[in-house]
Structure 1
Amino acid sequence: MKHVIRGHRSAVAAAGTVAGAVVLLALTGCGSDDDGGSGAGDGPAQADAVKAMRTAESVHAVGEMLWVADPAEIDVRVDKKGNCVGSAGNEQQGSVEFVMRDGTMWLKPDAAYLKSAYAYDAEVIAEVEGSYLEETEADAPTDLVDLCTLDTYVEETDSVVSFSPGMTQKEKTRHEGVAVVPYVNEDPSTSDGASMKIAAEGKPYPVTITDPEGAEVDLAFSAFGEPIKAEAPAAEKVLTKDQLSDIRLELM
């Protein structure tokens, strides 16, 4: 079963890098100064955060975003080389841990995920649960491959900024020990809880992005540029496609 991770605003932002850049420049050019957002003072602009995210070699993303068709909790470390370690889950689809590297993904699903994503019956689930399923990147569920793609988090950041370009810049503060410049959508006609915090020192990476009614995302970012240790699980804990097929045949 293939899934897609996108809010309706994220889908617009994902239409293309060039198109997204044109929209962003058009929006940020209206009703805002060079610092991005009405009433902005010194500090990084919203557009700076998108640019910085595009240059990131790796990131740790934690929080909530639309997964398949419902919000889910995610915890993912991913880099531009395709190395990825993480987990995702909600009550509707179940939960799954995953590792991806060198074009191969290993998934460790719980019973609910095996039922919702693979449509396995109770007998197969009893044999499979607790093991890692080995998939090529091409055959792995699209929603998980998206989570293991750094561009997904660039698109989510771009989406929040593109649809709330006139956020008000607030005074510099700290978020979990990091100096940040907060932005908040205070426009009563469009405010839907959108906000973001941008690193005030060093590269202006987005530290948090929130847009519950638009992009349907609430994420915190950290560990920019840090190496990702994506180690394959031990062979005895892995079920290949052939082994999985044998299990299913034996239970027919």
Structure 2
Amino acid sequence: MSADQVVDQIRATMGAVSTVHVAGYAMSDGQKMTLDVSADKNKNCTGTVTTGDTGSIELIHNSAGTWIKPDATYWKNMAAQKGNPQAGDAVAELFKGRWLTGAQDDPDLQGMADVCGVLAGLDEALNEDSTKSSAHKGDYAFVDGARALTVNVTDDSGPSILYPAADEQPYLLRVVNNGSDGGIVDLSDFNKPVDVQAPPADQVIDSGTFQQKVNSA
């Protein structure tokens, strides 16, 4: 097959995928974002996100809302952002193990929810005209023991290498972005159910309550 035909097959295969597990990292505005997330086509997802040195966050997102459970480093950074850095240690201890939620237009929560759109993002990238027109095949490689073809493409984010499975359906096993931002993401667990349930209400705090506690700490 030509490289264009391979991209067509990747697009068709990934377009039919209902769920996926994504693990790896991407650079954004000079910061490294590490992902370990399982998501479905409707952006229901669960997993962990770490951004730079601002801390790690457990994430749950479904149609009812977004919940994040930060580590101590995140709480301390959040306190600093809210203008009360000296409250960081107290806030981190107070909210340890708690889930934070709030309005869906909250920029922190919205940014986390956007992470869950990995399948939609892949579909959009594979449908870009530049991705297909620039494609050319490379050598075979192995991703976690599975043989994969390498396909070099270029889109708006720069040059990338796609690694579709070579000995089965051409599921996309890895994407390496060699553009200015860069990153490596591995994909697995295709079509495996993702159970996304809201955390227990007694473990959840509202972002407004968080702000009040920071101000009084």
**Shared topology, TM-score over 0.5?**
yes
Cα pair 2:68 2:100 within 8 Å, conserved? yes
How far apart are residue 84 of structure 1 and its match?
0.4
Would you say the 8 A contact 1:164–1:194 is kept in 2? no
Q: What is the CA distance between 1:162 and its match in structure 2?
A: 2.0
What are the superposed Cα offsets for residues 210-231 of structure 1, whole Å, 9 maximum, x if unpaired? 0233451211111111111112
Which residue of the partner structure matches residue 35 of structure 1? 2
Instruction: Kindly provide the CA deviation profile for residues 127-157 of structure 1, in whole angstroms up to 9, marking residues without a partner as x.
Output: 2233110234433533211111131343456
Q: How many residues align?
A: 206
Q: CA deviation at 1:108?
A: 0.8
For 1:127, give the aligned amino acid. L
Give secondary structure in 1 for the equivalent of 2:162: strand
Question: C-alpha deviations, 1:41-61, integer Å up to 9, x for none?
Answer: xxx613432343233211111
Residue aligning to 1:54 = 15
After superposing the two structures, state which structure 1 stretch, 126-135 or 100-109, moved more: 126-135
| Corresponding residue number in structure 2 for 1:64 | 25
- Mapped contact 1:156–1:217 kept (Cα < 8 A): no
Q: Which one-letter code corresponds to 1:154 in the other structure?
A: D
Cα deviation digits, residues 188-246 of structure 1 (max 9, x gap): xxxx8842210224432211110233451211111111111112223332212454355
Contact 2:56 2:73 in 1 (8 A): yes
What's the RMSD between the two structures over aligned residues?
3.2
Indicate the structure with greater strand content.
2
Structure 1 pair 163/202, CA: closer, same or farther in 2 (3 Å)?
Answer: closer
Specify which of 80, 91, 99 is matched with residue 60 of structure 2: 99
Partner of 2:100: 133
After superposition, residues 1-252 of structure 1 pair within 5 angstroms as 35-36=2-3, 45-67=6-28, 69-116=30-77, 119-120=81-82, 121=85, 122=88, 123-139=90-106, 140-149=108-117, 150-155=119-124, 162=131, 165-171=134-140, 174-184=142-152, 194-214=160-180, 216-241=182-207, 243-248=209-214, 250-251=216-217
Q: Which whole-Å CA distance do the structure 2 matches of 1:156 and 1:115 have between them?
A: 36
Q: 1:93 to 1:241 in 2, by over 3 A?
A: closer
Give me the TM-score of the superposition, normalised by structure 1.
Answer: 0.67
- State the percentage of identical aligned residues: 21
Structure 1 residue 184, shift from structure 2 partner:
5.0
